[in-house]
Amino acid sequence: MHTTTQQSPSAAPPGTAAITTSGLARRFGEFDAVAGIDLEIRTGEIYGLLGPNGAGKSTTVRMLCTLLGPTGGSATVAGFDVTEQPNEVRLRIGAALQEAALDPKQSGIELLRLQGRLYGLHRDEVDRRVADLTQMIDLGEAIERPIGTYSGGMRRRLDLAAALVHNPDVLFLDEPTTGLDPVSRARVWDEVRTLNEQLGMTILLTTQYLEEADVLAHRVGIIDGGRLVAEGTPAELKRQVGADLVIARIDGAASDAVAAVESIDDLEVVDATDGELVLATTHGAAKVGPVAVALADAGVELRDLTLRTPTLDDVFLEMTGNRMQHDEFEHAHDEQEGAAR
Ligand SMILES: Nc1ncnc2c1ncn2[C@@H]1O[C@H](COP(=O)(O)OP(=O)(O)OP(=O)(O)O)[C@@H](O)[C@H]1O
């Protein structure tokens, strides 16, 4: 995409923290939606806040965007305190949040122009930014049509462009691809990567999709029940779960198979039942061959041999005892909705 010469107001130098939180908390009535979160997100980083429905992701983002006051702890965004200096924060952030209310009668281009004027950009600056952004989101002539005619994916991309009109230092994306088809999702991912790589924009995105956090985020924070339960690069998090798993499906007694693989280094038998042997190792790819040879030498008939690396879902399971996908409907607190705004 094209960039403009517009400078953000006093951008933070690279390497400094773009977002910090210390014990950040939000209580609704008696319910702790966010129960003390510590974050340090570096300038230029894509940080993924991953968690199931109701984990506290949106509440965290709304506090960082100055839309909701914390009930505990503190936070800075682009070097300014969200409670003490909300106007300074707002000038430097862009946000595409879940509840984006787009006027269906307005055209895409009108929305972008209005957004530019709201941020006080000069008319020629607005025109330049809008031209760059419409090229980036590539809606074609639909950009002139009423938003009411847009698909979900088109609205989401327009919303992303609207968040970028004033060239923010820090971009917040709350579940940017929820409900999108795979093609639209991939387009949003490309746009997020481009913004980060070409403009060095810091991006905090929330997601319920393990794959999204895995492919997009430099670092991931796993959030559950309002708490950060794990944090690291996707690779680090997966390593925390431990080993690669080599799974051998066999015909015959497990005891023979266990005896056959016993002498192989760096291999731990996790589970052995008749028919299946589950082996843990730090370097799964290097063990597939030796396992196959050892089983064949011992006369154990091998039906298939698979290698599975841990996923972020395995990390979530290890940290919380639940699989993410199964948590979806367990966090309904609607009765408290609006109780203590
Ligand atoms: N205004 C409110 N009043 C009462 N409870 C609220 C309010 N806003 C959020 N909550 C509750 O706080 C918890 C965290 O909500 P939040 O929206 O931050 O979760 P989330 O991780 O973003 O989930 P989702 O993926 O559904 O957006 C939920 O249990 C939610 O019901």
CATH number of the domain within which 303 lies = 3.30.70
Q: From the CB of 254, is ligand 1 less than 6 Å away?
A: no
Within this chain, do residues 32 and 86 fall inside the same structural domain, yes or no? yes
Within this chain, do residues 29 and 120 fall inside the same structural domain, yes or no? yes
- How many domains, in total, are found in the chain? 2
Within this chain, do residues 195 and 259 fall inside the same structural domain, yes or no? no
* Separation of first and last alpha carbons in the chain: 39
Q: From the CB of 53, is ligand 1 less than 6 Å away?
A: yes
Structure-token pair, residue 176: 């940017």
Q: From the CB of 153, is ligand 1 less than 6 Å away?
A: no
Pocket test for ligand 1, best of 333, 335, 341 (most atoms within 8 A of CB): 333
Cα 193 off chain centre by: 12
Within this chain, do residues 134 and 255 fall inside the same structural domain, yes or no? no
- Ligand 1 centre distance from Cα of residue 102 (Å): 22
| CATH code assigned at 180 | 3.40.50.300
Q: Using the 3D structure, point to which of 194, 209, 238 is the last residue of a domain.
A: 238
In a domain, 12, yes or no: no
Within this chain, do residues 304 and 200 fall inside the same structural domain, yes or no? no
Q: Using the 3D structure, point to which of 238, 261, 289 is the last residue of a domain.
A: 238
Within this chain, do residues 265 and 146 fall inside the same structural domain, yes or no? no
Q: Where are the beta strands (DSSP E) in 141-226?
A: 170-174, 202-207, 219-224
In a domain, 8, yes or no: no
- Ligand 1 centre distance from Cα of residue 35 (Å): 12
Within this chain, do residues 202 and 260 fall inside the same structural domain, yes or no? no
In a domain, 229, yes or no: yes
Pocket test for ligand 1, best of 49, 58, 174, 328 (most atoms within 8 A of CB): 58
Within this chain, do residues 81 and 55 fall inside the same structural domain, yes or no? yes
Q: From the CB of 71, is ligand 1 less than 6 Å away?
A: no
Within this chain, do residues 276 and 220 fall inside the same structural domain, yes or no? no
Q: From the CB of 13, is ligand 1 less than 6 Å away?
A: no
Q: From the CB of 328, is ligand 1 less than 6 Å away?
A: no
Q: From the CB of 286, is ligand 1 less than 6 Å away?
A: no
In a domain, 320, yes or no: no
In a domain, 112, yes or no: yes
Classify residue 277 by burial, with Cβ atoms within 10 Å: 0-12, 13-18, 19+.
Answer: buried
- Asked if 74 and 39 count as a contact pair (C-beta separation under 8 A), the reply is no
Rounded mean pLDDT for each run of 10 residues along the chain, 341 residues in total: 44 71 97 97 96 92 96 96 95 85 88 90 91 85 92 88 92 90 88 90 93 93 94 88 83 89 87 82 89 93 89 78 54 35 31
Enumerate residues 6+ apart whose C-beta is below 8 A from 261: 267, 269, 277, 279, 291, 294, 295
- Asked if 18 and 43 count as a contact pair (C-beta separation under 8 A), the reply is yes
Cα 10 off chain centre by: 27
User: What pLDDT is recorded for position 82?
Assistant: 97
User: What pLDDT is recorded for position 315?
Assistant: 80
SS3 content of the chain, % helix, strand, coil (to 5): 40, 30, 35
Pocket test for ligand 1, best of 57, 60, 64 (most atoms within 8 A of CB): 57
CA distance linking residue 182 with residue 152, whole number of Å: 12
CA distance linking residue 24 with residue 34, whole number of Å: 7
User: What pLDDT is recorded for position 242?
Assistant: 67
Within this chain, do residues 196 and 279 fall inside the same structural domain, yes or no? no
User: What pLDDT is recorded for position 15?
Assistant: 54
Q: Which residue's CA is the closest to the ligand 1 atom numbered 1?
A: 338
User: What pLDDT is recorded for position 4?
Assistant: 40
In a domain, 220, yes or no: yes
In a domain, 290, yes or no: yes
Q: From the CB of 216, is ligand 1 less than 6 Å away?
A: no
Q: Of the candidates 24, 15, 34, which has an alpha carbon nearest to the alpha carbon of residue 79?
A: 15
Q: From the CB of 61, is ligand 1 less than 6 Å away?
A: no
Whole-prediction pTM: 0.77
- Ligand 1 centre distance from Cα of residue 198 (Å): 33
Which range of residues forms the domain containing residue 107? 17-238
In a domain, 333, yes or no: no
Within this chain, do residues 190 and 292 fall inside the same structural domain, yes or no? no
Q: Which residue's CA is the closest to the ligand 1 atom numbered 7?
A: 337
- Ligand 1 centre distance from Cα of residue 54 (Å): 5
User: What pLDDT is recorded for position 340?
Assistant: 35
Structure-token pair, residue 86: 């909300």
Within this chain, do residues 140 and 265 fall inside the same structural domain, yes or no? no
